Structure 1
Amino acid sequence: MPAFALARWTGAAALAALLTVGVSAPAAADTEYVWYGNLIGTATVQTPLDGGDNLFAESFVTERGALNQVTTFTLSEYVDFNGLAGWIVDPPAGQGPRLIGVNLDIVDSSANVVAGDTFTGVLGGFAHSSFLGSLGPGTYTLVATGNAVRDGAIDISLSFTSPIPEPATYGMLAGGLGVLALVARRRRQDG
């Protein structure tokens, strides 16, 4: 058999062996969009989210008054998340959208606030905030509140990632396997 054919067959055999023991390609990321056409609204994302998935909640409304948008979502695994938000704050004397006093919280199923945003500033007529943290499996609610002095526009994004074990975790695993190998070797020598 030619060398290139053997290498190709060996690669195919290795892939088949990996698939046989349950190793598979990572799942494609899912992105869920929620659009609010009013200042006050609720939505529930039906698809559970995992690491690699994204959630976007957006609105542009021509109303004035209190903003209260509630987006419920479910996580099927432990994830780290990074959240960003931007909303228009046209000057008080202007005529464009002006959303003020914005606050974003993530609340768990027991109504405990588990994460809140941090205001990062205004740039080019857009206010920005961010938040990050870790969440376990369960149902959560993203709550956006504020006040639309004039029209209101806000975009919120949450990106979820699977936590990456720290290098020390791999060292502990290797050390544990080494101890098991040593114990097995001693048993063989004693028996």
Structure 2
Amino acid sequence: MKLKFIAAGILAAASFSAYAGDQVINVNADGSAHAFSAVVDDGILSGGLDEIFLNGLGAGKYNIGLSISGQNLSFNALTSNLNGKLGESLSIGSLRFFGVEYTGVGPFKLQLYGNALAGGNYSGTYTVSAVPEPATYGMLLGGLGLLGFMARRRAAKKAA
């Protein structure tokens, strides 16, 4: 019985390994449109995994929306991840990652898992939006409080 558990563990660990045929795509985040593409001739998903590195982002917290369209392939939304954080699949060919922390050290790495058939290809775009700092919300609430104070004071003057 123990041998079956050990064999199952070894098979599970082996299924997560990267293969030599995996493709790496580097994309620069330059503040404008961000796009990437790959076709089967490039070896997409040949090892079951493609890695896309998003370069040029500063340290911070990001919301990233990824839209992927493709032919003759399927992505696994349960294992595709961005810096280890699983995304949410909102529709076919779309992944979203909310509140991903990035320290600014090392690559910002998107891993796409799936299977490609003959003639497969995909292309995609992504958008990056910074998540506001807590101090931003504090200033917003402080300003609203001041507006409320002024409105109450004005109403008290009219009543008197």
Smaller-chain TM-score range? 0.5 to 0.7
> 1:105 and 2:84 equivalent?
no
3-state SS of 2:118 partner: coil
> 1:42 and 2:21 equivalent?
no
Match of 1:114 in 2: 85
Q: Give unpaired runs (5+ residues) of structure 2.
A: 1-20, 147-160
3-state SS of 1:144 partner: strand
Q: Please tell me whether Structure 1 or Structure 2 has the larger radius of gyration of its CA atoms.
A: 1
Deviation at 1:58, TM superposition (A): 0.9
- The separation in 2 between residues aligned to 1:81 and 1:143, in whole angstroms, is 14
Deviation at 1:150, TM superposition (A): 1.8
Equivalence map 1:4-83=2 (5 Å): 40-45=22-27, 47=28, 49=29, 52-62=31-41, 65-74=46-55, 75-78=57-60, 79-83=62-66
| Matching residue's letter, 1:43 | I
> 1:131 and 2:96 equivalent?
yes
* Structure 2 contact 40–118 (Cα < 8 Å) conserved: no
1:23-43 per-residue CA deviation (whole Å, 9 max, x = no partner) reads xxxxxxxxxxxxxxxx73113
3-state SS of 1:151 partner: strand
Deviation at 1:100, TM superposition (A): 2.5
Deviation at 1:141, TM superposition (A): 0.5
> 1:84 and 2:54 equivalent?
no
1:21-64 per-residue CA deviation (whole Å, 9 max, x = no partner) reads xxxxxxxxxxxxxxxxxx7311334x5x47x4443221122468
* Structure 1 contact 53–160 (Cα < 8 Å) conserved: no
RMSD between aligned residues: 3.7
Question: Which residue of 126, 129, 139 corresponds with 1:158?
Answer: 126
Give the TM-score taking structure 1 as reference length. Answer: 0.47
Shift of the 115–172 alpha-carbon distance from structure 1 to 2, 3 Å rule, reads farther
> 1:141 and 2:120 equivalent?
no
3-state SS of 1:161 partner: strand
Give the TM-score taking structure 2 as reference length. Answer: 0.54
- The separation in 2 between residues aligned to 1:53 and 1:160, in whole angstroms, is 10
* Structure 1 contact 53–161 (Cα < 8 Å) conserved: no
| Matching residue's letter, 1:106 | L
More helix by share: 2
- The separation in 1 between residues aligned to 2:63 and 2:75, in whole angstroms, is 27
